[in-house]
Structure 1
Amino acid sequence: MQAAKQEGRNGHRDATLILMMYRHGLRVSEAISLRWDQLDLKQGTLHVNRMKRGTPATHPLRGPELRALRQLKREYSESPYLFQSERKGPMSDRTARAIIARSGELAGLPFPVHPHMLRHSTGYYLASNGQDTRAIQVYLGHRNIQHTVRYTELAPGRFKDFWND
C-alpha cells in the first residue's frame, strides 16, 4: 500500500484498492465493481456482492478503511464507483491487476504479485488469528467449506489449546 501511495497521481486510490481487497478478501471483479451505494460510512458497513456464485455478506469497516474511503469520496465523488478510471467509469480488471503488480515491484518484493494473493492473504491471516473456519467461509463468500479449509490447515496455532496440562 505504501508503494502504491507513492506512485502516480492516483496513489491514494490505488492504496485504497489494495487495502479494501486485502481487508475484505475481494476478487478483482468484486473490487472494481464496488459502488458507493454498497457502503454506509456512518454505520461503518460494506455490502459485498460476491462473484463466482459466492454468498453475499455485510462486512464491518474499520478506522483505516473509513478514513481512506472518506478521502476517496472527496477526491472521486463524480462516479458511482469507488475505483474509477480516468474516464469516470469503473476501473478495468487490467488496470487493477497492473496496479497491484507494479506496487509489488515498487515495494521490492522478490516475486511477482497478483491480486488473488491479497484474497489468500486474508484467509491465512484470519485463520492464523484463530478465527472460526465457518466464519472465514462466510466472510470470504465460499459456498463450499473445502475452499476455506486450505487456510486453516496451515494455521500455526490450530492445536495449541487441545490440551491444558
Structure 2
Amino acid sequence: MKYTYTKVKNKEAIEWYKTKSGKKLYRVRFKRKINGKNIPYTKNGFKTIAEAVAGRDHAISQINKTNGLNNEKMTVSEYWKIYRKNKIESHNWTADTVRGADYQMEFNILPQYQNTPLSKITRDKYQSFINYLLYDRTDPRHPEKKKPLAKSSVKTLNRIMQSLMNSAVLDEKIDHNPLQKITIKKDEKAKKKALTVEESEKVLTYFKQHTSKLRFAMLYLPILGMRRGEIMGIKYGAPKPVRGGYLLPITKTRTISEPNGKGTKNDSSNRTLFIGGEAAHQLTIALREFERVMREHNRIPNKDDFIFVEEDTGNVMNVNTMTNMYHEFGKKMGILPLHPHMFRHTVATINAIKGVDRELTAQFLGHKNVEMTDYYNEPTVAGKKVVMSVIDDSFSDINHKLESGVNQV
C-alpha cells in the first residue's frame, strides 16, 4: 500500500504517515554519502517521534561504522578490515599482534571465509574447517603437499576468529556467535621445552668455541631466564653496578615488528634483575666489547644504545640474530629444537628441584604470577639474589669449564 508521507518539522529525516486504519506512524528516510557513494536507508513503523529519532541515530551510527555495508551481506573479509582498523586505532594491538593476526587471516582464515557473510557462518562447517587444518591442510605454496598445522597454531587462529565474531555481535552485525565450544584435539609428541644441565654444558661450550666474546655473552645471558627481546634490548646505560654484580632494570623489549623497542609483555615483566656470578662477568664483557666496537667505528657510546651490535659495522644486531644462531648451532650439534626460550624453562625446572619459592621464580622470570593468572608484588633484592645464587650454583661446573676459553676480561 502506498502512503502519503509528511516531513516532521525540525526532525531531520523523519516523516509521518497514516495507515489504512488511520493509525499515525513514523518513517526514517535518508541518504549518506560514503566513499563517494550514496547509501539510502528507509524504515517504517515507528510508533512515536522519539522512537524514530533513536532509530535514525542508530542507523546513521551503523552506516558510519560499516562504511555503508549491509549487515546481512557483510563478509568476513569486510568486517575484518573494520575490526583490524579499530584494534589498531584504539592501541589495543601492538605491531607484533597485528603482524601475527594478519598472517593467520591471510594464510588460513580468509582463504576459507573471505567472501562468506558473517550471518552465514555455521558451527558445523567451522568445526570441519578446524579439523581440516589439524589433519588435512595443504601447503599454500605447494598445494600438492599436505601440511597440517600444529594444535597450538590452530588454537591461535581460533582465538582470532572467536574474537572477531564476538566483536561482530557487540557491533550488532550478527545476533550471536555460533562458534561455541569448538573442539581442537590432536595427539602430538610433546615438544622439548627445556635443556638438561648436560645439554646446557654442550651448548654453551660449543657457543664459546665458535663465537666472539660479544656474541657469546649474548648467547649466555638466556640462562638467566630472560626473554630474547629483553636481552637484545639491553642498553648501555641500563646495568647498574652493585656489590656482587649488577641491577638490571627490564622495561623495554625488542621485537621483529618493533626493533627499536617497546614496553614489556605485561606489568609484571617490568622488573629489576640482580645479575651476579658468571652472568655478571659476561655482562661486563659485553659492555666492554660494545665500547671497543664503538671506538673502532669512531662512535661515542650513548646510554640509550643497544649493546649487542654487529662488530664489522657497529650497527645494532637484528632481533632474530640470537634465535638464528641457536637454531644454526643446534643443527650442527644435533640438539633440536634449540632456542633461547628453552633456558627460561630450564631455570624454572632447576629452581623447582632446588626448592626455591615458586613466587620468587615467577617474579624473577617476569610472569604475572605462579600460575600466570594473578598479580603479585615486586620481589626484594634479597629474593632476587636467592634465585640468582641458585642459577649460578646450578651452572657452576659449566662455568668453571668455560673459564679457560676465549671469553676472559
User: Do they superpose with TM above 0.5?
Assistant: yes
SS at match of 2:249: strand
Percent identity between matched residues is: 23
2-structure distance, mates of 1:61, 1:82:
16
Larger strand proportion, structure 1 or 2? 2
Corresponding residue to 1:4 among 207, 225, 239: 207
1-structure distance, mates of 2:229, 2:274:
20
SS at match of 1:143: coil
SS at match of 2:320: helix
User: How large is the RMSD of aligned CA atoms in angstroms?
Assistant: 2.2
* Aligned counterpart, 1:146: 371
Per-residue deviation, 1:5: 1.6
- Greater Rg by CA: 2
1:59-107 deviation digits (Å, cap 9, x = unpaired): 222121222222222221135222123433432222111122233334x
Letter in 2 for 1:129: K
Corresponding residue to 1:57 among 268, 271, 277: 271
* Aligned counterpart, 1:103: 329
SS at match of 2:367: coil
1:28-71 deviation digits (Å, cap 9, x = unpaired): 11110111222023442222236211422222221212222222
* Aligned counterpart, 1:37: 237
1:121-157 deviation digits (Å, cap 9, x = unpaired): 1211222211111111111111143139xxxxxxxxx
Contact residue 16 and residue 68 of structure 1 kept, 8 A: yes
Contact residue 330 and residue 337 of structure 2 kept, 8 A: yes
Task: Say which structure, 1 or 2, has more relative contact order (CA 8 Å, 6+ apart).
Answer: 1
Corresponding residue to 2:348 among 113, 123, 128: 123
Identify unmatched segments of 5+ residues in structure 1.
Answer: 149-165
Corresponding residue to 2:314 among 71, 88, 93: 88
2-structure distance, mates of 1:120, 1:97:
16
Q: How does 1:70-85 map to 2 (within 5 A)?
A: 70-77=284-291, 78=294, 79=301, 80-85=305-310
Of 12-21 and 29-38, deviating more is 12-21
Go from structure 1 to structure 2 and tell me whether the alpha carbon gap of 1:73 and 1:54 turns closer, same or farther (over 3 Å shift). Answer: same
Corresponding residue to 2:338 among 113, 117, 139: 113
1-structure distance, mates of 2:267, 2:346:
18
Identify unmatched segments of 5+ residues in structure 2.
Answer: 1-203, 253-263, 295-300, 374-409
The alignment covers a number of residue pairs equal to: 144
2-structure distance, mates of 1:3, 1:98:
15
Contact residue 214 and residue 285 of structure 2 kept, 8 A: no
Letter in 2 for 1:30: E
Of 131-140 and 90-99, deviating more is 90-99
Go from structure 1 to structure 2 and tell me whether the alpha carbon gap of 1:95 and 1:72 turns closer, same or farther (over 3 Å shift). Answer: same
1:135 aligns with 2:135: no
Go from structure 1 to structure 2 and tell me whether the alpha carbon gap of 1:3 and 1:59 turns closer, same or farther (over 3 Å shift). Answer: same
TM-score, normalised to structure 2's length? 0.33
